[in-house]
Protein backbone atom coordinates (compact mmCIF):
# COMPACT_ATOMS: atom_id res chain seq x y z
CA UNK A 1 0.00 0.00 0.00
CA UNK A 2 2.69 2.49 0.87
CA UNK A 3 4.05 2.26 -2.69
CA UNK A 4 0.70 3.03 -4.38
CA UNK A 5 -1.13 5.09 -1.79
CA UNK A 6 0.52 7.54 0.50
CA UNK A 7 -0.69 7.81 4.06
CA UNK A 8 0.70 10.77 5.95
CA UNK A 9 0.37 11.75 9.56
CA UNK A 10 1.31 14.94 11.36
CA UNK A 11 3.16 14.15 14.58
CA UNK A 12 2.67 17.77 15.71
CA UNK A 13 -1.11 17.56 15.34
CA UNK A 14 -3.32 17.51 18.44
CA UNK A 15 -5.11 14.54 16.82
CA UNK A 16 -3.50 11.31 18.08
CA UNK A 17 -1.40 9.48 15.48
CA UNK A 18 -3.53 6.31 15.68
CA UNK A 19 -6.64 8.40 14.94
CA UNK A 20 -4.93 10.00 11.94
CA UNK A 21 -4.05 6.52 10.66
CA UNK A 22 -7.61 5.26 11.16
CA UNK A 23 -9.08 8.33 9.48
CA UNK A 24 -6.64 8.19 6.55
CA UNK A 25 -7.18 4.48 5.93
CA UNK A 26 -10.96 4.83 6.32
CA UNK A 27 -10.96 7.50 3.59
CA UNK A 28 -9.07 5.13 1.30
CA UNK A 29 -11.44 2.28 2.16
CA UNK A 30 -14.68 4.23 1.74
CA UNK A 31 -13.52 5.77 -1.54
CA UNK A 32 -12.57 2.35 -2.93
CA UNK A 33 -8.88 3.23 -3.28
CA UNK A 34 -8.17 0.26 -1.02
CA UNK A 35 -10.12 -2.59 -2.55
CA UNK A 36 -11.25 -5.89 -1.10
CA UNK A 37 -8.35 -8.33 -0.68
CA UNK A 38 -5.78 -5.52 -0.67
CA UNK A 39 -3.05 -6.28 1.81
CA UNK A 40 -1.80 -3.57 4.11
CA UNK A 41 1.80 -3.54 5.31
CA UNK A 42 2.61 -5.32 8.54
CA UNK A 43 2.17 -3.29 11.69
CA UNK A 44 5.93 -2.93 12.09
CA UNK A 45 6.51 -1.90 8.48
CA UNK A 46 3.70 0.67 8.57
CA UNK A 47 5.05 2.02 11.88
CA UNK A 48 8.54 2.32 10.41
CA UNK A 49 7.20 4.02 7.25
CA UNK A 50 5.18 6.54 9.31
CA UNK A 51 7.76 7.08 12.05
CA UNK A 52 5.51 5.95 14.90
CA UNK A 53 5.54 3.16 17.48
CA UNK A 54 4.18 -0.18 16.28
CA UNK A 55 1.52 -0.12 19.01
CA UNK A 56 0.10 3.03 17.40
CA UNK A 57 -0.41 1.22 14.10
CA UNK A 58 -1.67 -1.92 15.86
CA UNK A 59 -4.35 0.13 17.61
CA UNK A 60 -5.41 1.71 14.31
CA UNK A 61 -5.59 -1.69 12.59
CA UNK A 62 -7.63 -3.12 15.50
CA UNK A 63 -10.05 -0.19 15.30
CA UNK A 64 -10.62 -0.82 11.58
CA UNK A 65 -10.93 -4.55 12.18
CA UNK A 66 -13.58 -3.87 14.83
CA UNK A 67 -15.44 -1.78 12.22
CA UNK A 68 -15.38 -4.76 9.85
CA UNK A 69 -12.86 -3.39 7.33
CA UNK A 70 -9.82 -5.58 8.03
CA UNK A 71 -8.94 -9.15 8.78
CA UNK A 72 -5.84 -9.23 10.94
CA UNK A 73 -3.17 -11.91 10.63
CA UNK A 74 -1.06 -11.95 13.78
CA UNK A 75 2.59 -11.40 13.01
CA UNK A 76 2.00 -10.78 9.30
CA UNK A 77 -0.30 -8.15 7.87
CA UNK A 78 -3.87 -7.00 7.52
CA UNK A 79 -6.17 -7.67 4.57
CA UNK A 80 -9.17 -5.63 3.45
CA UNK A 81 -12.32 -7.73 3.61
CA UNK A 82 -15.84 -7.35 2.24
CA UNK A 83 -17.91 -5.19 4.52
CA UNK A 84 -21.65 -4.74 4.43
CA UNK A 85 -22.51 -1.10 4.97
CA UNK A 86 -24.54 -1.02 8.18
CA UNK A 87 -27.53 1.20 8.76
CA UNK A 88 -26.51 3.85 11.30
CA UNK A 89 -28.46 3.99 14.53
CA UNK A 90 -30.29 7.11 15.63
CA UNK A 91 -27.68 7.63 18.36
CA UNK A 92 -24.87 7.38 15.79
CA UNK A 93 -26.58 9.90 13.50
CA UNK A 94 -27.03 12.28 16.44
CA UNK A 95 -23.35 11.92 17.34
CA UNK A 96 -22.25 12.44 13.71
CA UNK A 97 -24.37 15.59 13.54
CA UNK A 98 -22.86 16.96 16.77
CA UNK A 99 -19.32 16.31 15.54
CA UNK A 100 -20.05 17.88 12.16
CA UNK A 101 -21.61 20.98 13.73
CA UNK A 102 -18.62 21.34 16.08
CA UNK A 103 -16.20 21.09 13.15
CA UNK A 104 -18.19 23.60 11.10
CA UNK A 105 -18.34 25.99 14.08
CA UNK A 106 -14.57 25.70 14.50
CA UNK A 107 -13.98 26.46 10.82
CA UNK A 108 -16.38 29.41 10.85
CA UNK A 109 -14.66 30.75 13.98
CA UNK A 110 -11.36 30.61 12.11
CA UNK A 111 -12.78 32.67 9.27
CA UNK A 112 -13.69 30.04 6.67
CA UNK A 113 -16.73 31.37 4.75
CA UNK A 114 -19.91 29.28 4.96
CA UNK A 115 -20.12 29.14 1.15
CA UNK A 116 -16.64 27.62 1.03
CA UNK A 117 -17.62 25.04 3.64
CA UNK A 118 -20.68 24.06 1.60
CA UNK A 119 -18.63 23.54 -1.55
CA UNK A 120 -15.90 21.68 0.33
CA UNK A 121 -18.38 19.34 2.06
CA UNK A 122 -20.18 18.56 -1.19
CA UNK A 123 -16.87 17.91 -2.96
CA UNK A 124 -15.61 15.68 -0.15
CA UNK A 125 -18.81 13.65 -0.11
CA UNK A 126 -18.65 13.15 -3.88
CA UNK A 127 -14.96 12.16 -3.75
CA UNK A 128 -15.62 9.58 -1.06
CA UNK A 129 -18.45 7.84 -2.87
CA UNK A 130 -17.07 4.66 -4.42
* Residue pLDDT, tens place only, 10-58: 999 999 999 999 999 999 999 888 999 999 999 999 999 999 999 999 9
pTM for the full predicted model: 0.81
Please tell me the total number of residues recorded for the chain in this structure.
130
| 83 to 60, 76, 110, 122: CA distances (angstroms) | 17, 21, 37, 25
**62 and 102 both lie in a single domain:** no
Among the ranges given (14-18, 20-24, 71-75, 91-95), the one the predictor scored with the smallest mean pLDDT: 71-75
Contact by Cβ (8 Å): 65, 78: yes
Determine the pLDDT at residue 3: 45
Range of the domain at 73: 17-80
Would 104 be classed as within a structural domain?
Answer: yes
Would 10 be classed as within a structural domain?
Answer: no
Say how many domains are in the chain.
2
**94 and 71 both lie in a single domain:** no
Burial letters 40-52, b for 16+ CB under 10 A, else e: bbbbeebbeebeb
**28 and 47 both lie in a single domain:** yes
Amino acid sequence: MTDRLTLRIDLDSPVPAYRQIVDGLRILLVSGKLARDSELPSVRRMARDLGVHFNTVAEAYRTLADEGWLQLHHGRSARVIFRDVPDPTTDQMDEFGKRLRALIAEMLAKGVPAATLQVDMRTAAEELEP
